[in-house]
Amino acid sequence: MDKIAVLIPCYNEEKTIGKVVADARQALPEAVIYVYDNNSKDKTVELAQKAGAVIRHERKQGKGNVIRRMFREIDALCYIMIDGDDTYPLEYARVMADKVLLENSDMVVGDRLSSTYYQENKRPFHNMGNSLVKSSINMLFHSEIQDIMTGYRAFSYQFVKSFPVLSKGFEIETEMTIHAVYNNMQVDNVIVNYRDRPEGSESKLNTYSDGIRVLNTILKMFRQYKPLAYFTLLAVLLTVLSAAFFIPVFWEFWKTGMVDKFPTLIVCGFVELAAIQSVFAGLILHNLGVKERRDFELQLNDIQERLERKK
């Protein structure tokens, strides 16, 4: 088992990967540095190997797929995950690792948004998207995470081995954050500087398609992790819709004693039945979620025992 493993997912990062590996070796000389290549078509693998990294491969395209492979294959007391584009300085890696190794943090978030991100990033929709996602997650899950979508993080062994990777792409960071918050794991923020990509290095993010995927992930996670709130909100919306169509029918009945719009009345009844079913669905899923939380705590105990044996 490694003490510290630096995990670098890469796809066509020949402009920067050599520097990132060298900086990691300087910041954490005791760490093993893993570069996971995701079908790069340039010299990423050659330059990373020359810089001293251990090279491994993930053939399924997508950052989520790469991280799934990393978390399955690597055993370490502390994991530092960083992008290969040289946008995050490695000088903060020691502080982040110490929070995991010495302060029992499960996840340490490299917070770009509280420092230089908004000045360095030249894509206004990315800035707006980061703020929107941050506000949404913190409001829905009552958390205080300062940067939801940062690619600079540190993890404990317990987090890595208990995290079910479901996302395939860049929405993986959002999924990580919700998993940690929902399961009451210790999450710390470390403010880090951010610098934009150097000239000639191209981002793999698509502002619109990846943004939609992240928002879909938030909605999906809200439904899965907060089913009672989600289905109660749905029930309220259905009730409002039913009432909006029922009031004119009731008003006509009040004045004339006649119901002329039976089809509308019938539809209102079915919509309200759907609202009631939504509430019960939320209650059932909420109770199942409580059971999953209990099972998760037992799973953490098993992971801790496995960690002790590996030590």
Burial class (CB in 10 A: 0-12, 13-18, 19+), 139: exposed
Bridge partners (DSSP) listed for residue 34: 7, 54
Mean pLDDT of 32-36: 97
Mean pLDDT computed over every residue of the chain: 89
Instruction: Work out the angle at residue 31's Cα, subtended by the Cα atoms of residues 68 and 296, and round it to the nearest 5 degrees.
Output: 40
Q: How confident is the model at residue 201 (pLDDT cuts 50, 70, 90)?
A: low
Note the helical H segments in 183-226.
207-225
Q: What is the C-alpha separation between 251 and 150, in angstroms, rounded?
A: 55
Task: Using pLDDT thresholds of 50, 70 and 90, give the confidence band for residue 102.
Answer: very high
Enumerate the β-bridge partners of residue 187. Answer: 107
CA distance 305 to 307: 5
Tell me the percentage of the chain whose pLDDT exceeds 70: 91
Q: Which residue has the higher pLDDT, 168 or 60?
A: 60
Q: Has residue 301 got a pLDDT over 60?
A: yes
Whether residue 84 has pLDDT greater than 60: yes
Q: Which of 45-49, 131-135, 248-252, 259-263 has the highest mean pLDDT?
A: 45-49
User: Helices 17-27 & 93-101, crossing angle to 10 degrees?
Assistant: 50
Task: Give which of 153, 213, 141 is closest to 182, Cα–Cα.
Answer: 141
User: What pLDDT does 239 receive?
Assistant: 95
pLDDT tens column, 212-270: 777 787 788 788 889 999 999 999 999 999 999 898 888 888 888 877 788 888 999 99
- pLDDT digits over 67-77, tens only? 999 999 999 99
Q: How many CB atoms lie within 10 A of CB 232?
A: 18
Whether 95 has a pLDDT exceeding 90, the answer reads yes
**DSSP one-letter string for 260-271:** --HHHHHHHHHH
Q: Is the pLDDT of residue 22 over 90?
A: yes
What pLDDT does 202 receive?
60
Residue 38, amino acid: N
CB 40 within 8 A of CB 202: no
Residue 1: pLDDT band (50, 70, 90) is confident
How far apart are the C-alpha atoms of 171 and 153, rounded to whole Å?
A: 15
Q: How confident is the model at residue 197 (pLDDT cuts 50, 70, 90)?
A: low
Give the number of other CB atoms < 10 A from CB of residue 224. 14
As given in the structure block, the two tokens for residue 116 are: 């230089």
Q: Assign 63 a pLDDT band (cuts: 50, 70, 90).
A: very high
DSSP letter (8 states) at residue 14: T
Find, among 129, 120, 219, 205, the residue nearest to 175 by Cα: 219
Closest by CA to 148, choosing from 138, 139, 158, is 138
Q: Which comes out higher in pLDDT, residue 132 or 224?
A: 224
So what's the pLDDT on residue 233? 95
> Which backbone phi and psi does 38 adopt, to 5 degrees?
-115, 65
pLDDT above 70 (res 39)? yes
pTM for the complete prediction?
Answer: 0.82
| C-alpha to C-alpha distance for 193 and 120, rounded to whole angstroms | 10
Q: How confident is the model at residue 122 (pLDDT cuts 50, 70, 90)?
A: low
